[in-house]
Amino acid sequence: MMTERRPRGRPKAFHDKTRQNTIQSLDRACGILAHLAEAQGLTLTELAGRLGQSPATVYRVLTTFEGHDMVELDPATQSWHVGAGAFRVGSAFLRRTNIVERARPMMQRLVDATGETANLGIRQGGQVLFLSQVETHRSIRAFFPPGTLSPLHASGIGKALLSAMENDAIRRLVREAGLEGFTAKTITGTERLLEDMAATRDRGYAIDDEERTTGMRCVAAPVRNAAGEAVAGISVSGPVSRITDAAIETFASDVVSVAAALSRSIGAPS
């Protein structure tokens, strides 16, 4: 009796990441798009110079992307920017989960309660990928637009997600990603990070105390699914002049409460 073959999403040799299984021109083009997104607008000369590639090659990639609305040229400044097509493609990632949609009103509630910017992010390898943000209207505020990446060890959401991991897993992640220093307060030692994770678990929330940006603080808590796994993190960020030592517990209470509500909304037990 014949059995129906199960369709595959990958060929048998998908673990083989050698050059024979990659398209070098596509790899280069993806790198150009990623660099352009991170820089938020560059001229052809600037982009080619930063990538160490010829302007002619980069231009061919850009015009190809432009035909698919992935990038667009600002005629006034002659600078290239990520286009609406890239947003439409990227939005497909957000549609894989309803956590962003469910989080939005809760993040607004957090902004209303604290007066600070609320953020939602998930782990992507050794970094936090920010999915959504609701900004405060105050003049000094944190800014993490959707798509921003930040190291796990130097962000509130990242540390909240790390705290849900076993210490051995944290050590492996550190060996792979390292602990880059950004300010005098960044944790750059593995044992010191593990100590901070133990304190985070005990109190139920994480603190980024000027560890990514001098003068800015972040208080975060993990969001859990029906299996109790930390699948995201939610936070408030703002200047130390407003998120003071004396006010941290108040901010944390609001963050933990909203994180718990969002967790319940995606199936976590009460």
Is 10 contained in some domain?
A: no
Mean per-residue pLDDT, 23-52: 88
* Closest-CA residue to 103 (of 261, 228, 270, 252): 261
Same domain, 101 and 228: yes
Is 60 contained in some domain?
A: yes
Average pLDDT, the chain: 88
- The pTM of the full predicted model, rounded to 2 decimals, is 0.70
Indicate if the pLDDT at residue 8 is higher than 60: no
Is 14 contained in some domain?
A: no
Is 4 contained in some domain?
A: no
Same domain, 74 and 36: yes
Output the pLDDT for position 95: 59
Same domain, 156 and 128: yes
Is 149 contained in some domain?
A: yes
Distance, in Å, from the CA atom of 156 to the CA atom of 237, rounded to the nearest integer, reads 9
Same domain, 77 and 185: no
Output the pLDDT for position 264: 92
Distance, in Å, from the CA atom of 196 to the CA atom of 158, rounded to the nearest integer, reads 12
**Last residue of one domain, picked from the residues 88, 113, 135:** 88
Is 1 contained in some domain?
A: no
**Last residue of one domain, picked from the residues 29, 57, 88:** 88
Same domain, 173 and 106: yes
Report the sign of the C-alpha dihedral through residues 207, 259, 131, 247, in that order.
Answer: negative
55-61's contacts with Cβ under 8 Å and 24+ in sequence apart are 57/28, 58/32, 61/28, 61/29, 61/32
Share of the chain above pLDDT 70, in %: 89
Same domain, 54 and 169: no
Q: Determine which helix (DSSP H) or strand (DSSP E) holds 234, and give its type and residue range.
A: strand 230-239
Indicate if the pLDDT at residue 17 is higher than 70: no
pLDDT band for 267, please (50, 70, 90 cuts). Answer: confident
Same domain, 142 and 160: yes
Same domain, 106 and 234: yes
Output the pLDDT for position 88: 80
pLDDT band for 145, please (50, 70, 90 cuts). Answer: confident
Share of the chain above pLDDT 90, in %: 67
Structure token digits, residue 252:
């944390």
Total tally of structural domains belonging to the chain? 2
Is 6 contained in some domain?
A: no
CATH code for position 177:
3.30.450.40
Same domain, 152 and 207: yes
Indicate if the pLDDT at residue 1 is higher than 50: no
pLDDT digits (tens, 9 = 90+) for 177-234: 999 999 999 999 999 999 999 999 999 999 999 999 999 999 999 999 888 999 999 9
Structure token digits, residue 114:
């604290």
Same domain, 76 and 101: no
Which domain does 48 fall in, by range? 19-88
Q: Which residues contact 60 (CB under 8 A, 6 or more apart)?
A: none
Q: What is the DSSP string of 111-157?
A: HHHHSSEEEEEEEETTEEEEEEEE---SSS-----TT-EEEGGGSHH
pLDDT digits (tens, 9 = 90+) for 252-264: 999 999 999 999 9
Q: Which residue has the higher pLDDT, 70 or 10?
A: 70
Same domain, 80 and 191: no
CATH code for position 73:
1.10.10.10
**Last residue of one domain, picked from the residues 88, 113, 143:** 88
Same domain, 143 and 29: no
Mean per-residue pLDDT, 166-174: 96
Is 224 contained in some domain?
A: yes
pLDDT digits (tens, 9 = 90+) for 63-93: 999 999 999 999 999 999 999 888 888 766 6
Output the pLDDT for position 226: 85
